[in-house]
Each structure stands twice: as C-alpha cells, then as structure tokens.
Chains A and B, each alone.
Chain A
Amino acid sequence: MIPELGHFALVLALGVALIQVFVPAYGVWKRDPRALAVATSAAQTQALLVFFAFGCLTWSFVYSDFSVAYVAANSNLELPMVYRVTAVWGAHEGSLLLWVAILGGWTLAVSIFNRRLPADITATALAVLGTVSVGFLLFMLLTSNPFDRLFPVPLDGKDLNPLLQDPGMVIHPPMLYMGYVGFSVAFAFAIAALVSGRLDSAWARWTRPWTTTAWLFMTLGITLGSWWAYHVLGWGGWWFWDPVENASFMPWLVGTALIHSLAVTEKRGLLKSWTVLLAILAFGLSLLGTFLVRSGVIVSVHAFASDPARGVFILGFLTIILGASFLLYAWRAPKLASEGEMTLFSREGLLLINNVFLVVASASVLLGTLYPLLVDALALGKISVGPPYFNAVFLPLFAPLVLMVGVAATVPWKRAKLSEIVRHLRMPLIIAIAAAIVVPLYIHGHAPVAVIAGGFLGFWAIVTAAQEIWRRMRAKTTLSAGLLGVPRGVWGMSLAHFGLGVWALGVTFVSSYSVEKDVRLSPGQSIDLSGYEFRFDGVEPHVGPNYDSDYGTVTIEHHGEVVATVHPEKRLYRATQQMMTEAAVDHTPLRDIYVALGEPLSEDASHTGDWALRLYYKPMMRLVWLGGAFMVLGGLLAATDRRYRLTRAAEANFAKNSAVV
C-alpha cells in the first residue's frame, strides 16, 4: 500500500510540475499576474509530493518491504538500520528519487525566500526548475521506477553494495547532489534574466548566495567522496581521475568560475553575458555528470545501471535543455550589454583571467573524460586516458590560479598601481618563500624543487589570505572589534583561499613524501617503513552484523615506542558474497599511517599463514580534506553575508527599473 502511495505521489508530482511549467510561462507571455502567482503554489505542492514519495521509499526500506523490487535488490534483514535508510540512495532508482527530492527542496527554498522579487522573474525561474523536474520525474516513471513490485516476494533481500556500507557514504551522495542540483537555481535565474532581458547588479546580488550555497555543498560532497575512497577502496589514494570523479569536478570548476564572475557582475556591472553562459554551463555539466554516472557508459563503482534506454533518455533531455538554453542565449545575450570599461590589471581583469583558467581546466578534464567514449562510439578502438594526462594538464593550469589568488585580494577594482601591489605583497612573498624552504627541510630533511614550488604556492595562498583579514582588522582599536568588523563576505573569501592553500600544501607533501610498500608478512614478522616499525600480529576470524571478516592486528612502533595498534579487515559480505577491504588508518595532523590487508597467501582456509599487506606512510594527508573543509566554511560565511538580505532601497530601485522596461 505505502509503495503505491509513493508511486501515486510521483505521478501527481509530474502533473503538478507540468502546471508549474506551463501556467507561469503563459503568465509571463500574457503578463497575467494570476497565472504568474500559480508558480509558487505549484512549486510548493510539487516539492511536498516528491518529499512524500521519498518518505514512502524510506518507509519501505526501514520495514524491509521486499515486495518492492528496489528494496529487495538493495537491502537485507541483517543490514543495520542506518544503512537501510541510506540504502534509499544506494542504487540507480533511489538516487534519482533523491535527485528529484533535492530539486524539490531547492525549488521550495526559491519559492519561499524570493517573495520579494518581481513576480515575473520568480515565475520564470520556478517554471525553469519545473521543466527540469518534469524531465527527471518522467525519466523515473518511464525507465526506473523505484516503487516497482516484485512477485513472488523474496524472503530476504540481496543486500546493499558493501562498498556503500560506510559512514562516508551516508552523507556523500546527498551533499554532492545538493551541489549538482543547486546549480539548477543559478541556471533558472540565468534563464529568467535572458527571458526578461534584465540583468543588473540586483540580479547578481540575489543569484550569488544561491550559487555560493550550491558550490559549498558540491565542495563538501567532493571532499567527502575523496575521503570515502581513501578509506574504502583500499588503494590509499584520495583522487583517481575516475570518470565519475571528473563528472563532479567539471561542474565544480565551472561553478567556481561562476561565483567569481558573479562578483564582477555585481560590483562592476561587467561580464554579464559571460556570467549567464557560465551558469548555463555549470548546470549543463551537472546534467552531463548525471548522464555519465547514471547511464552506465563508464565503468566505475557508481555505474549501477547499464540500460541503454536510460542513457538515451538522459542524453535526449540534456540535448533539449542545453539546446534550448543556448538558442535563447544566442538570441537574447547581445541585449545584456555591459556598463563601463575593463582594464586587465584590476581586480575584475584578474578575475576574468581566473575564469579563463578555470574554464580551460574544466575543458581539459572534459576532453580526457569524453574522448575515450567518443572513440569507442565511433568504433575506432578502445582507449583509456590515465591519471598522468590529467596531472600533466592540470598542474600548469592550477599553479597560476593559486598565484593569482594571492594577488587578487590586494588588487583594487577598476585600476591598480603596480608599485602599490608590490609594496603590499613584499612581506607575504618573503614569508611564503622562506616557509616553503624551511618547513620541508625541518620535517623531512630534504626538499626537492617540486616541493619548494608546491609549498610556495600553498604558503602564498595561506599568508595572503591571512594578510587580507589582518589588513582590515588593523584599522580597529581592539581585537574583537577588528574581528567583528570584517564583513562575512571577506571572511568567506579569505577562508576559502586559505583552504586552497592548505589543500595545495597537503597535495604537495603527500605526492612528494609518501612511502608506499606492498609486502608479504607472516604473523610475528616486522618490517621497517620510513622509520616506523610495523609488526604483523596475525588475523582472527570475526563475525559482523552482515559480514564475516578476517580481523588483522598490526602494531606500529616509532623510536622503540608503540604509536598505534591498528586493525585492518578483510570482510566477506554474506548476502552478496563480496569481498571488501577495510583499511585501518592511524592519523595525526602531520601524517597518516595506512594499513590494508591484501590477500592470504598461504593455502590453508583459516588464513593464519602469510598475508599480503599494503603499508603507506603519508605525510600531511589530512590537509587535503582540511583544505576542502575550509573552503566549505568560507562558502558558508560568504553565502550568509548580510548584504544579500535585500535592502528596501535596492528593491525599490529594481521595481522602478522593471516598470520602465
């Protein structure tokens, strides 16, 4: 019964979404305020219906209703409760429902917080969001209904993919989807600007917090995904340039460009059509990411579905949405003339260069991700493009970006004086160079050129970000007045740039000083790695809630003292008969020690003989994710800046402009 209600709610939601598209569109066309007003109520009804459907599916999981095919395929009576709830988005159908539910959430938020906007802008934006919703609801109902029944009803389910039974997986997909889907709001506003032909700093001011919020969720999602891969995949890597990772990284890069170009559009009224184009691209890449991940055209952990009908549907949808947007853009964008001149050596000029670099970086990732698919589709052979390509292209694009981050905050809008900039940045430059040489030498005793260069970039971003805060605080008399006097937006920017520096430092140290060793050890045997003594104490059988495991014990000593005792595991999930490596990590802020069980090498079934072990020593590994965390925090502060709560004056001004048009 409950699943049928959920299914019914989805069908109703589709109907309401259609109303949400067509009635406001008619209202915009005929300038009919009653039709415009429908947008808000339709959007809210649609969102509630989708939430209800999501609740129904969750209910089916919690009560293990195996008559629902999706539940039977992804749950099990032995599955712990927390994973039953997260199993809702553990595979294709449910993750689509999550997508639509999150879209409903964003739509609801737009309909609530944008009451003060002109009715036609709100209505157009909601109609655009409704269109996206119609597409995904149709997709779900036609090709991948999560509420499909299964007869005869199985006694037990097949269990959730063991890779997904991890705390990181509990929150990674919702956060990432918040980001993906969040860009739909910026997209909807961009379309509304094109349709109405009005794009001014008020538009930028109300688009900015939405975009920043989507960006911060995306950053969080990517960071969590990286952390999850590190712990669960058992390879000890934090980024693989896997097509699915790339699928989330491309919109992130373009989204980052977008939040920067929005700043120019708000402050200087420049780069208008470029900003609109970025908003369309960011959402287009989000859709492309969904297509890549969901259609099964690429092989990865995430590719649940390999049904060609699904791929064709998403590709068709992508073509329609992007095609229509680009047509509209080609037709209307020339109207969005920018006000004023732009010189290259100014804050807006540097932000434009930053945008060029970010977009080129995104394009190079796109090339490496799509080219193998294209070659395959044209039957020219099968190729793969490895991480060396991405690293080789990415490094020269990213280094100048980090350099500019340090300069940009000091360079004023409109026109900058070189001598003044040099005077400002002299001290940070000296500090960053000194730190880049001293820190690696102090910790590791040797400093290759690559580390000094990478370390310099990291310290440069960190020091200049701190200097920006310091410069603004110095004017105030007391420390607390100084700290409070800095606007949130500036705090946000500085923290995010600080995070970029921390991240760059982490990446530099991890990639230069990591020591990795695969070894064969018998119980009681030890081995030395980078000054740490690893003693393998053997494995014991262990019974978990829905798996059996070989539970290993490894004692780590440093200078004769025991630093840690870790327990890497090899699990065999009973329902799926899948093997999983659960790595054990001992970490301090300055280093990670990573131990994973490879495989038993002796023939006996008790697995008490020799084992293959993977031992890693990774300095500063935590900084990679800490950098991401700082960026998220920065985004949070920037999105909640007081300026964005529209002042009466700005509103009145906008209403006046609208009346003239």
Chain B
Amino acid sequence: MTKRQKRMAAIAALLVGLSLAAALGFTAFRKNMMYFYTPSDLLAGTSKVGAKLRLGGLVERGSVKRGEGLSVDFILADCVHSLPVHYEGILPDLFREGQGIVATGSMQANGAFKADEVLAKHDENYMPPQVADALKVQDGKHACAPFKSVNKVEAAK
C-alpha cells in the first residue's frame, strides 16, 4: 500500500468506528430516556401501561398507608388530579406527607402507578424543580400553594 492508501484506510477505519460508537450510544440513549409526567398528564392518557416514566407531584396528606412488610400506598397529587401509587421498599428520609416527590416506575392496568424508586429532595420547603414547573400557571406563580392545596384536592375517580 502506498502512504496515501494507508492514510485513507486509517481514516475509513476511524469513521466506521466512530459511527458504530455513535449508533450504540444513541440506541442506549433512546432506550434509557425517561419522560417526566404529572398525575394530570397520566390521567389524560398520554402514556402506555407498563412504560417506564417519572411521575412528580405532592404526597396527599393523610394518604400514606403501610401494608405487609415494606409495602406502602399513598396518593400523589398535582393541583387538579391525583393518582394512587404503590411502592415496595424504603422511602427516602425526606419523604413526608405534603412533600413534593418524584417516583420512577410505570402505570398498571388497574389505574395505579407502581413505583420502583421514590426520590425526595433535601429541604422541606423545597420542591423538585420539575414538580414546581409542572405546577406553574401562566403568571409564573404556583397554581396553588404547594402544601395547603394538597389537603383539599380530592382524588379524581
């Protein structure tokens, strides 16, 4: 091979390698991307049963019920709608009623959300920004004061 051919071969190999890496990367990316929803989004039917997603909202006061072992049920609300959530495991330190949380999991056929992971963030007046944004209305303020409203929200049936 001449020097020129060698160089072309090296560049071709590099291009093939890079496109392979890019293809792998984007596949992994597509598979592992999770969208964020609020209870209202889910009840409006914008997601499939069983699809993995993140759900954010406020834990309705008085709704946390412990079951056998580590199972726990609670209701997650935004200002308009609410949704029952089921979880097996240890809740984070900052999980409290009236607190904004983000749960990762999927919708079940029975209309409940099954959480694999529950995240709460670190300050009790703090809402995950995604939750705060989702609850915002046009004038930039919260549609309702985050904690009080939750007490009044009625479970949408």
Given A344-B10, A384-B36, A388-B32, check contact A598 B124 (CB 8 Å).
no
Cβ A384 vs Cβ B34 within 8 A: yes
Query: When A301-B122, A599-B90, A614-B90 are in contact, do A393 and B36 touch as well, CB less than 8 Å?
Result: no
Q: Quick check: which of B21-29, B75-83, B107-115, B143-151 contacts chain A, the rest being far away?
A: B21-29
**Do A578 and B70 contact each other (CB < 8 Å), given the known contacts A299-B128, A389-B32?**
no
Chain B, 81-117, CB within 8 A of any chain A CB: 89-91, 93-94
Min Cβ gap B128→A in Å is 6
Query: How many angstroms from the CA of A388 to the CA of B24 in the assembled complex?
Result: 13
Sort A-B residue pairs by CB-CB distance and give the 8 closest, nearest first: A598-B90, A382-B36, A389-B32, A392-B28, A579-B93, A388-B32, A612-B90, A389-B28
Known contacts A384-B54, A386-B32, A389-B32; is A580 also within 8 Å of B69 by CB?
A: no
Q: In the complex, which of the residues B21, B24, B90 has the most CB atoms of chain A within 10 Å of its own CB atom?
A: B90
Determine if A312 is an interface residue (Cβ-Cβ < 8 Å).
no
Prevailing SS type, chain B contact patch: mixed
Cα distance A367–B24 when bound, in Å? 13
Q: Which of B34, B89, B124 makes the CB contact (< 8 A) with A577?
A: B124
Beta-carbon contact of B24 and A396 below 8 Å: yes
Look across to chain B and name the residue whose beta carbon is closest to the beta carbon of A394.
B28
Q: Does A37 contact B (CB under 8 A)?
A: no
A601 near B32: Cβ-Cβ < 8 Å: no
CB contacts (< 8 Å) of A344 on chain B: these are: 10
Are B89's CB and A367's CB within 8 A? no
Query: In the complex, which residues of chain B have a beta carbon less than 8 angstroms from the beta carbon of A381?
Result: 35-36
Residues of chain A within 8 A of B32, CB atoms compared: 385-386, 388-389, 392
Does the CB pair A382–B28 fall under 8 Å? no
Contacts A360-B18, A384-B33 aside, 8 further interface pairs with beta carbons under 8 A come to A299-B128, A299-B129, A382-B133, A389-B33, A392-B31, A397-B21, A520-B70, A598-B90
A163 at the interface (CB under 8 A from B): yes
Pairs across A and B, CB under 8 Å, 20 listed? A163-B122, A356-B14, A364-B25, A371-B29, A381-B36, A382-B36, A383-B33, A384-B33, A385-B34, A386-B32, A388-B28, A389-B29, A392-B32, A393-B24, A396-B21, A396-B24, A518-B70, A579-B93, A598-B90, A614-B90
Q: In this assembly, does B66 line the interface, its C-beta being within 8 Å of a C-beta of chain A?
A: yes
Q: Find out whether the CB atom of A520 lies under 8 angstroms from the CB atom of B69.
A: yes
> Of the candidates A161, A306, A360, A371, which one forms a contact with B122 in the assembled complex, judged by CB atoms under 8 Å apart?
A161
- Shortest A233–chain B CB gap in Å is 10
Looking across the interface, which residue of chain A has its beta carbon closest to that of B35? A383
A515 within 8 A of B: no
> What CA separation (Å) do A378 and B23 show in the bound complex?
24
- In the complex formed, the residue of B with least CB distance to A612 is B90
Chain B residues with Cβ below 8 Å from A299 are 121, 128-130
Chain B CB within 10 A, most for which of A381, A383, A388, A581: A383
A368 CB–B CB distance under 8 Å? yes
Closest-CB distance, A303 to chain B (whole angstroms): 9
Of the listed residues B28, B66, B124, the one surrounded by the most CB atoms of chain A closer than 10 A to its CB is B28
A271 to B74, alpha carbons, bound, how many Å?
A: 60
Chain B contacts to A: CB under 8 angstroms: 10, 14, 18, 21, 24-25, 28-29, 31-36, 54, 66, 69-70, 89-91, 93-94, 121-124, 128-130, 133-134
Determine the interface band of chain A, counting residues with CB < 8 A from chain B. Answer: 35 or more
Asked, given contacts A520-B69, A577-B124, whether A382 binds B130 with beta carbons under 8 Å apart, the answer is yes
> Within A349-384, which residues are at the interface with B (CB < 8 Å)?
356, 360, 364, 367-368, 371, 381-384
Residues in A with CB closer than 8 Å to B66 are 601
Chain A CB count within 10 A is highest, among B25, B69, B89, B123, for B25
A272 to chain B: closest CB distance in Å? 19
A489 within 8 A of B: no
Q: Does A519 have its Cβ within 8 Å of any Cβ on chain B?
A: yes
B70:A519 contact, CB within 8 angstroms: yes
> Is A523 part of the binding interface, using a Cβ–Cβ cutoff of 8 Å?
no
- Within the assembled complex, what's the spacing in Å between the Cα atoms of A612 and B91? 9
* Given the contacts A364-B25, A396-B24, A579 and B35 also touching, CB distance less than 8 Å: no
Q: A344-B10, A520-B70 are in contact. Are A599 and B36 (CB under 8 A)?
A: no
Closest chain A residue to B129, Cβ basis: A299
Beta-carbon contact of B33 and A367 below 8 Å: no
- Bitwise, A458-473 to B at CB < 8 A (1) or not (0) is 0000000000000000
Residues from chain A with a CB closer than 8 A to the CB of B89 are 518
Query: Does A234 belong to the interface (CB within 8 Å)?
Result: yes
Nearest to B68 among chain A residues (CB) is A520
CB of B14, distance to nearest CB on chain A (Å): 8
Q: How far is the CA of A389 from the CA of B24 in the complex (A)?
A: 10
Chain B hits for A384, CB < 8 A: 33-34, 36, 54
Task: Give the docked Cα–Cα distance between A520 and B93 (Å).
Answer: 16
By a CB distance below 8 angstroms, the chain A residues around B18 are: 360
Structural contact, B121 and A612, CB atoms closer than 8 A: no
